[in-house]
Amino acid sequence: MRVLRACKELDISSVTVYSDSDRNALHTRYADEVYYLGPAPATESYLKIEKIIEVAKTSNAEAIHPGYGFLAENTEFARACEANNIAFIGPHSKAIELLGDKIASKETMSRAGIPVIPGSPTAIEKEKDAIRTAEEIGFPVLIKAAGGGGGKGMRVVREKKELTGAMKQAMGEAQSAFGNPTIFIEKFLDAPRHIEFQIIADNYGNVVHLFERECSIQRRHQKLIEESPSAIMTPELRERMGKAAVKAVKASKYTNAGTVEFMVDKDKNFYFLEMNTRLQVEHPVTELITGIDIVKEQFAIASGEKLSLRQEGIEMHGSAIECRISAEDPKQNFAPSTGRIVELIEPGGPGVRFDSGIYEGFEVPIYYDPLIAKLLVWAPTRTEAIKRMKRALGETVVRGIKTSIPFHLIVMNNSKFIAGEYDTTFIDRVLGKLQYKKENYEIAAIAATLGKILGEQQAVTVKAQGQSYISLWKLAARPSKYKREL
């Protein structure tokens, strides 16, 4: 939907694809042309390169935007586009191959003089190699998929006995998510901050960065909340990290939009982590603080235009926060929650942006990533942004499934988060076992149901014996007390 909206504003005719489970998805209603790909499993639809190229040819598409999942960082897909004279709205296949592969990208950055996290210089295939590498750099270590990101194919290993099982799990998950089971190992940093820099580069050697995004609120290496600017950033550190990000892009001859990711330790030393050779889920955070439409910039660069942006002319204003709304139940350890959305009330008001792919009546499928919406706010200061986010989260209603909204409210009310004192261990170390308040709309739903049962059109009151009228809200909240009257 994000890409399709950019197409609409640029007067570009759009074509989209869908699988069986996405037959009624919002993007199929919005695009100018819609084509069927195949069954619900991604390996039979969204990961089928030849099917997507076939649709592009059938519809006479000039370009393909890969979004930020599935084949977005797949070298073979970019090559297939190039071979069929279809513009890939992203970097050249050679850059994806170099930087999309986490092992090769670390080697490139090290040669360019950019600090990297210690780890295996090549892919790990055998258990004995994994054990040797882990013992050389010291436990704990992090097993990572070489061909993708988003927390998929990643496992923290703290002891030698855990290594074999973690390798198998990571390889299986990487194969399922990216079609590439290759893994590598690197040192697991203790309580770092995860900070990334958005970059844009054209085909003529011009490169700019659009400042940082803080992505340290994570669960199982999956980002849940992002913000900009980072609470720990100083002008001097921002300048050094920004220059390192631009240097990384030039060293790899990268073009289009991308993200250079760093880990920052307690002493504010930063290390190159990886580069995402695609549009990031959290890109709207940067759009809100800079006023730059990153997707439109992607289209312009892919069509051969020179970058109109200059580093000295890019400024950041205010503070922006994004909460990823997922179809998960945080009260049940973020268990997937699928089903039909029976009610949707989107937030609004000043400084609020709601990017989603859902609507009332939409059936949330079980096959894909649980992300269903992104709630963003902008305000002049971080304090105001947090208050605005709390207000917007309170306005958002998604009934029929469970969502991560209660979790986000807890974070926004946490004193450590409000003070900007957090890192990638925040959820486990600070929040611990979360306690959630019962949502008022559940009480309201019970009251409305009782009203229908009693045949009351407006569900107002029920007369109790020997006393005045009792509200259905009281009945819903304390049914045992009024059992006889009910």
Catalytically annotated residues:
278
What is the maximum alpha-carbon separation in the chain? 85
| Tally: H helices and E strands in the chain | 17, 23
**Contact by Cβ (8 Å): 99, 275:** yes
Coil, strand or helix at 198? strand
219 forms beta bridges with 222
SS3 state of residue 448: helix
What one-character DSSP code corresponds to residue 162? Answer: G
* Rounded-to-integer distance, Cα 338 and Cα 473, Å: 29
Instruction: Tell me if 141 sits within 8 A of 159, measured CB to CB.
Output: no
Burial 349-376 (b: 16+ CB within 10 A, else e): eebbbbbbbbeeebbbbeebbbbbbbbb
Amino acid type, 297: E
Q: Is the C-alpha dihedral spanning 299, 301, 306, 310 positive or negative?
A: positive
Measured distance CA(474)–CA(384) in Å, rounded:
36
For residue 229, say if its preceding peptide bond is cis, omega within 30 degrees of 0.
yes
Tokens matching residue 204? 């003529």
- CA 309 from centroid of its chain's CA atoms: 26
